[in-house]
Structure 1
């Protein structure tokens, strides 16, 4: 775990053994895999100091060198309108935050008039604490899907998490209620997903679509429905909804993909999120309690999935 302290706008690190002999360039390009553009900004704007001096990006660090990285600055990357909503926080530190997304709320604005999204609520939450950073979503959840969703508080954390997401290093576990009883209690759906040319928002399994992989496992059966745990290996739009409908088991309430309209939303909840912290390297595991009122998911212990 990388130990650090916050000093105003700066993160201070005493060079650990695993950094000794490496250059700042090595750490940014190889350890953190930061994009070239963002690395260039840190270099050109002198956002790195070593022992109080402007960093030499090509000089090896020595054990115990004091490295300062300027991370916590006021930004003006977007004009996100702050919107108050008492959203539940599952994990937070200086670098990342995980919210428990409520239903019937977009993750981010789709146009200039869309101002009551989770991103807007997250911006308000930070501002109410006196933090002036521009928050960044790392992934998204459908409007009617609830559960754990990850945001970054600064550009470096956001870039590292984006790379981790691309490399499938952020693990997301969902709970769904589907129609019918599954023939196979456990399996993998490996079918490409693309747009449905006959519908503006719907997706479908298509040989010309993007690769999509969903792992599923039966939790329990209740009447004519099944509770299913799903793990995403990829993150396509509507992936779980499309894949489970494709095998004949649409989600309850998911009328877009053939589900019965007996619920106000599709029965899908992001119950667990696991990843390695982008800066410290510690393991983050977040469980998102069910928040529907009245409840949709019954007798499920999320801490055992």
Structure 2
């Protein structure tokens, strides 16, 4: 695991054995797979120093070299910073933060009038701690879905995580409660998802839609409904909701897709998030406790799903 130390807007790394012989260019392009445009920008802005001098990006590093990278840029006030919410933080360090998203809150603003989103609350949270950085969401959850959601604290970690998400290297495990009992207790739903031309926000299984794959496993059955664990290969809008409804078992509370209105929201919770840390390569596993009041999910241990 790579050890880093934050010093103001800079990150210090003492070159480890596995970096020795590699250039700064190779670190950014091959180790971290940072996009070419961002790598070029960092290079032109002289944001990397080695042993106190501007880095030669093509010179191999030696074991023990002191590398300084200016990763923590000053905050750009893209959103207002006046929305406080008592967030439940599941994991945090200098580079990333994972938050347990509450229900009835959008992940990000859809227009200028929306100033009470999770992004606003998370930005306020880090700013109140004295971290003058601009955070970035890596993925999103529907407004009424709860659970673990990942944010990056600087452009490099954000770019690395975006690439990991695109390559399906960030594993997200959800828990849903669906209507009825699914005949096949474990399987994979492979159906393309597209917009429903008859409804502004609804999606549907469509031959002209985007490829989508959802794994599922029934973990508990009760009278009239089932608890289902789901994990995704793709991240289409409303994917789990659409796929399970297509299977004939819509989520309870999800009236948009035919679910019974037993709850005030669809019974969907992002229970577990697993990813390789974008900078240190450490494996991070976060479990998100249920936070509904009154509770929706009962008798489930999220640490064993």
Output the TM-score relative to the length of structure 1: 0.98
The answer for the alignment partner of 2:179 in structure 1 is: 179
Query: Structure 1 residues 140, 78: closer, same or farther in 2, change over 3 A?
Result: same
Give the whole-Å Cα distance in 2 for the aligned partners of 1:122 and 1:72.
16
1:211 counterpart = 2:222: no
Give the whole-Å Cα distance in 1 for the aligned partners of 2:4 and 2:123.
25
Stretches of structure 2 lacking an aligned partner (at least 5 in a row): none
Q: How does 1:272-287 map to 2 (within 5 A)?
A: 272-287=272-287
Q: How does 1:1-305 map to 2 (within 5 A)?
A: 1-76=1-76, 78-305=78-305
Structure 1 position 77, deviation (Å): 6.3
Give the whole-Å Cα distance in 1 for the aligned partners of 2:168 and 2:202.
24
Give the whole-Å Cα distance in 2 for the aligned partners of 1:77 and 1:84.
16
Output the TM-score relative to the length of structure 2: 0.98
Q: 1:101·1:147 contact (CA, 8 Å) conserved in 2?
A: yes
Structure 1 position 81, deviation (Å): 4.0
Q: Greater CA deviation, 142-151 or 123-132? A: 123-132
Aligned residues: 305
Stretches of structure 1 lacking an aligned partner (at least 5 in a row): none
Q: 1:191·1:243 contact (CA, 8 Å) conserved in 2?
A: yes
Query: Is the partner of 1:270 in helix, strand or coil?
Result: strand
Give the whole-Å Cα distance in 2 for the aligned partners of 1:27 and 1:286.
27
Give the whole-Å Cα distance in 2 for the aligned partners of 1:234 and 1:266.
20
Q: Deviations over 1:140-188 (max 9, x none)?
A: 0000000000000011100000000000000000000000000100000
Structure 1 position 73, deviation (Å): 2.4
Give the whole-Å Cα distance in 2 for the aligned partners of 1:155 and 1:78.
15
Q: 1:136·1:158 contact (CA, 8 Å) conserved in 2?
A: yes
Give the whole-Å Cα distance in 2 for the aligned partners of 1:163 and 1:71.
18
Q: Greater CA deviation, 105-114 or 204-213? A: 204-213
Give the whole-Å Cα distance in 2 for the aligned partners of 1:39 and 1:80.
29
Structure 1 position 82, deviation (Å): 3.7
Q: 1:82·1:123 contact (CA, 8 Å) conserved in 2?
A: no
Query: Is the partner of 1:284 in helix, strand or coil?
Result: strand
